[in-house]
């Protein structure tokens, strides 16, 4: 590749990275009707580059030279059918042009591609994602980017028609003195964007609160017109800002297109002064769980943009978008020093608390909106329960759960505690992949029979926070599949519905459990009776001291194997007719081999209900067929021939 210092800078044509080529293809063939969003994207980029330069000039004032008014200029050329977006910001070197405009850096764009690949649909998605620079190809048949990096004496031009490749070459007269000029040759369907009236309207609609002034002019005219004054929206008093203005600003800071679900805007005064304008998105962004997720809260110091990746808020609030503008932080603070700055740490603490208390308020004032918010971001907030022990109680107040009482709806922990049964000591939970299959798990039967509510936890993060959480309002959390369920103290809610009352005498079951344990050996750590079950004969639970079984499974999956798992406890329902007759036979004696078969079958059926394969599928199959053979044998007939295993083996 030609280096920056090459004495004879040459023109070079390069292929786009595969993802970019796909994205461009979509843009060029887009049927998306709101093509005007391209202008917002290009103005955002131009404004970003001005803000970056303003920041760098803090420590190096020479960078600005005599051109101190940072601004964006949009120039329409009706005669030639072109539109130019120019800025006097940081600009790009040759390498930066190639890197930034030939590859995909931002995680949001990659998530967009993944989402369109998954849904096969892109026109709606274009609106949901800001797809950045490449959206220019929705309206342009050719895009030229002429740029001069600040302080550089060379300027370069990047050009592409949006098909497979782009060209970079030394810039000619189109080169700006500093910054970037993006020129679009508009397609026939998009000529309206060569008219200043359309452009003004579009800018006012999408970019009215970009914190850098934006001017519009007609090509050839000396006069330009200020369309956006570049004053910061967040410094205006709340009463003077309309919902529409908040929304448009939210779009600018988030790159999203949904409505903000909640807006938090206030000014802190006292030991520190700062302004906060934060938004909770309405929709879950596609890259919420992407570790590279970019574009967090934007930090300003006295209206100068400093950075948007200073982790101003904890990672479990990574969906929050907006601005924090400090009066007190030093302007010349390096990004690295920001991470350890005590002033910023105290802003972080105070703003985090404020976000939590505002969320709590909206949970009370607008339960429906809060529920929608929780559905989108609850899984992320729950990370805070183990990452931030200090805020555990505040977070618990915000959590909502599907429970056996209301599997479709959302219940708070306070709702749960208020509905606890007399003598119920713990908050019970079940962990699984989805609420409806969880609700069917045999482990829940005994709880249901007693009218005890169980939290149904289905987010991957649930396995983690329940380990860390000590409890809520003095009530410990306990898994329904972990340890003994001490349910005997709590009466059944409808005694005649179940047969637990006339359970086999404990002595009888003891013979059976002992026999089962002997038969199953190390496959189980214990066999015992249980109050947990009402209608199923058996289930598996974790040993008293062992981790929850779902958590163990999750960890085993991450390790890529089940080795090291503790053998489970097999629990039997002493009230179940099958268990009763088995234990009668056990007490009578003389049937050990058949009872051993039954032990294996009950273990396998409990494994299957847990979503696992029986530990020995071949043996399981043999026993199952054997039992069916017996069950279906015709008295005096030749049933054994009909199921001769050799026949099947030949298949
Ligand atoms: P994003 O703005 O989210 O990073 P874009 O696709 O809009 O994604 O832009 C890609 C990159 O190109 C930007 O991050 C920036 O580095 C660079 N870029 C685009 N436009 C400009 C500009 N006018 N001035 C300087 N750099 C720019
Ligand atoms: Mg952009």
pLDDT of 187 > 60? The answer is yes
Read off the pLDDT of residues 532-579 as tens digits, 9 standing for 90 and up: 898 999 999 988 777 777 777 777 777 766 666 788 999 999 989 999
Q: Are 152 and 129 in contact (CB under 8 A)?
A: no
Read off the pLDDT of residues 464-491 as tens digits, 9 standing for 90 and up: 899 887 889 999 999 888 777 678 788 8
Q: How confident is the model at residue 107, as a pLDDT?
A: 61
Q: How confident is the model at residue 485, as a pLDDT?
A: 67
- Which pair of tokens denotes residue 355? 């976000």
Q: Which fold has domain 502-649?
A: 1.20.120
User: Got the DSSP string for 477-526?
Assistant: EEETTBS----TTSPPSSGGGSSGGGPPPHHHHHHHHHHHHHHHGGG-SE
- Which pair of tokens denotes residue 507? 């002595």
Considering the entire predicted model, what is its pTM? 0.78
SS3 19: helix
Ligand 1 probe mutation, 45, 73, 126, 309, most atoms within 8 A of CB: 45
Q: How confident is the model at residue 602, as a pLDDT?
A: 95
- Is ligand 1 within 6 A of the CB of residue 92? yes
pLDDT of 399 > 70? The answer is yes
Position with higher pLDDT, 118 vs 184: 184
Q: State which CATH number among 3.30.230.80, 3.90.550.10, 3.40.1410.10, 3.60.70.12 fits the domain covering 233-365.
A: 3.30.230.80
CATH of domain 401-494: 3.40.50.11260
Element (H, E) at 281: strand 274-281
Where do the structural domains in the chain lie, given as residue ranges?
A: 12-228, 233-365, 401-494, 502-649
Q: How far is the CA of 57 from the centre of ligand 1 (A)?
A: 19
Closest to 213 (Cα-Cα) out of 223, 227, 195, 200: 227
Q: Of all protein residues, whose CA lies closest to atom 12 belonging to ligand 1?
A: 100
SS3 132: helix
Ligand nearest to the CA of 182: 1
Q: Is 319 exposed, middle or buried (0-12, 13-18, 19+ CB in 10 A)?
A: buried
Query: Helix axis angle, 196-206 relative to 243-254, nearest 10°?
Result: 90
- Is ligand 1 within 6 A of the CB of residue 178? no
Alpha helices (H) along 259-366: 335-338, 342-365
Q: Of all protein residues, whose CA lies closest to atom 1 belonging to ligand 1?
A: 132
- Is ligand 1 within 6 A of the CB of residue 158? no
Read off the pLDDT of residues 610-646 as tens digits, 9 standing for 90 and up: 878 888 899 999 999 999 998 998 877 654 444 444 4
For the CA of 101, the closest atom of ligand 1 is 12
Q: How confident is the model at residue 637, as a pLDDT?
A: 62
CATH architecture of 12-228: 2-Layer Sandwich (3.30)
pLDDT of 239 > 90? The answer is yes
Mean pLDDT of the chain: 87
pLDDT of 216 > 90? The answer is yes
* Separation between Cα atoms, residue 365 and residue 524, nearest integer Å: 51
| pLDDT, mean of residues 79-89 | 97
User: Got the DSSP string for 403-429?
Assistant: ESS-SSS-B-HHHHHHTPPTT--SEEE
Q: Is 390 exposed, middle or buried (0-12, 13-18, 19+ CB in 10 A)?
A: exposed
At residue 422, φ and ψ (nearest 5 deg) are: -60, 140
Q: Is residue 117 very low, low, confident or very high in pLDDT (cuts 50, 70, 90)? A: confident
Kindly tell me the sign of the dihedral angle through the C-alpha atoms of 44, 50, 51, 52.
Answer: positive
Q: Of all protein residues, whose CA lies closest to atom 4 belonging to ligand 1?
A: 106
Q: How confident is the model at residue 2, as a pLDDT?
A: 44
Q: How far is the CA of 528 from the centre of ligand 1 (A)?
A: 65
Ligand 1 probe mutation, 100, 109, 292, most atoms within 8 A of CB: 100
Q: How confident is the model at residue 572, as a pLDDT?
A: 94
- Which pair of tokens denotes residue 302? 């006295």
Gyration radius of the chain's alpha carbons = 33
| pLDDT, mean of residues 515-524 | 94
Q: How confident is the model at residue 555, as a pLDDT?
A: 76
Q: How far is the CA of 39 from the centre of ligand 1 (A)?
A: 13
Q: Of all protein residues, whose CA lies closest to atom 17 belonging to ligand 1?
A: 100
Beta-carbon contacts of residue 609 (< 8 Å; ≥ 6 apart): 441, 442, 536, 539
Read off the pLDDT of residues 323-378 as tens digits, 9 standing for 90 and up: 999 999 887 667 677 778 899 999 999 999 999 999 999 999 999 999 999 999 99
- Is ligand 1 within 6 A of the CB of residue 90? yes
Q: Is residue 272 very low, low, confident or very high in pLDDT (cuts 50, 70, 90)? A: very high
- Is ligand 1 within 6 A of the CB of residue 424? no
Closest to 139 (Cα-Cα) out of 37, 248, 208: 37
Q: Are 67 and 177 in contact (CB under 8 A)?
A: yes
């Amino acid at each position: 590749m030609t280096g920056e210092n090459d004495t004879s800078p040459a023109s070079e044509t390069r292929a786009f990275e595969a993802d970019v080529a796909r994205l461009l293809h979509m843009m060029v063939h887009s049927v998306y009707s709101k093509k005007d969003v391209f202008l917002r994207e290009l103005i955002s980029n131009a404004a970003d580059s001005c803000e970056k330069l303003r920041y760098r000039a803090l420590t190096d004032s020479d960078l600005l030279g005599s051109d101190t008014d940072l601004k964006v200029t949009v120039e329409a050329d009706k005669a030639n059918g072109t539109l130019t977006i120019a800025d006097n910001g940081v600009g790009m070197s040759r390498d930066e042009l190639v890197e930034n405009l030939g590859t995909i850096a931002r995680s949001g764009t990659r998530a967009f591609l993944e989402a369109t690949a998954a849904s096969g649909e892109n026109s709606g998605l274009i609106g949901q994602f800001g797809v950045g620079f490449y959206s220019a190809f929705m309206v342009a048949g050719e895009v030229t980017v002429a740029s001069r990096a600040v302080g550089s004496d060379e300027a370069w031009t990047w050009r592409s028609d949006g098909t497979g490749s782009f060209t970079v070459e030394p810039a000619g007269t189109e080169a700006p003195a500093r910054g970037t000029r993006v020129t679009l040759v508009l397609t026939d369907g998009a000529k309206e964007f060569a008219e200043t009236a359309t452009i003004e309207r579009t800018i006012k609609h999408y970019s009215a609160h970009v914190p850098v002034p934006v001017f519009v002019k007609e090509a050839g005219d000396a006069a330009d017109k200020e369309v956006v004054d570049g004053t910061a929206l967040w410094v205006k008093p709340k009463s003077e800002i309309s919902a529409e203005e908040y929304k448009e600003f939210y779009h600018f800071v988030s790159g999203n297109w949904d409505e903000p679900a909640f807006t938090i805007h206030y000014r802190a005064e006292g030991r520190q002064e700062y302004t906060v304008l934060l938004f909770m998105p309405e929709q879950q962004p596609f890259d919420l769980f992407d570790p590279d997720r970019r574009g967090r809260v934007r930090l300003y110091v006295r209206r100068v943009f400093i950075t948007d990746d200073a982790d101003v808020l904890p990672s479990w609030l990574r969906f929050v978008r907006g601005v924090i503008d400090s009066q007190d932080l030093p302007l010349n603070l390096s990004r690295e020093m920001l991470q350890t700055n005590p002033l910023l740490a105290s802003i972080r603490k105070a703003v985090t608390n404020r976000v939590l208390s505002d969320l709590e308020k909206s949970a009370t004032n607008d339960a429906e909106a809060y529920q929608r918010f929780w559905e989108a971001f609850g899984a992320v907030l729950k990370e805070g329960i183990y990452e931030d022990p200090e805020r555990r109680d505040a977070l618990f107040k915000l959590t909502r759960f599907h429970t056996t009482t209301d599997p479709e709806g959302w219940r708070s922990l306070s709702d749960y505690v208020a509905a606890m049964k007399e003598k119920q000591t713990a908050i019970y939970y079940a962990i699984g992949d989805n609420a409806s299959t969880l609700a069917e798990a045999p482990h829940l039967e005994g709880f249901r029979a007693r009218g005890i509510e169980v939290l149904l936890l289905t987010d991957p993060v649930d396995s983690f926070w329940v380990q860390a959480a000590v409890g809520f309002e003095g009530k410990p959390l306990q898994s329904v599949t972990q340890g003994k369920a001490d349910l005997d103290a709590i009466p059944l809610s409808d005694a005649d519905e179940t047969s637990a009352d006339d359970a086999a005498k404990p002595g009888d079951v003891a013979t059976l459990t002992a026999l089962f344990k002997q038969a199953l050996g190390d496959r189980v750590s214990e066999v015992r009776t249980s109050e947990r079950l009402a209608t199923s004969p058996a289930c598996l639970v974790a040993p008293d001291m062992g981790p929850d079984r779902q958590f163990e499974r999750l960890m085993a999956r991450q390790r890529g194997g089940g080795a090291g798992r503790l053998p489970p406890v097999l629990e039997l329902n002493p009230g179940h007719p099958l268990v009763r007759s088995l234990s009668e036979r056990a007490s009578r004696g003389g049937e050990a081999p058949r009872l051993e078969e039954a032990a294996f079958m009950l273990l396998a059926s409990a494994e299957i209900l847990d979503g696992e394969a029986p530990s020995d599928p071949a043996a399981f199959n043999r026993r199952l067929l054997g039992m069916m053979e017996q069950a279906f044998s015709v008295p005096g007939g030749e049933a054994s021939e009909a199921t001769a295993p050799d026949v099947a083996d030949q298949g």
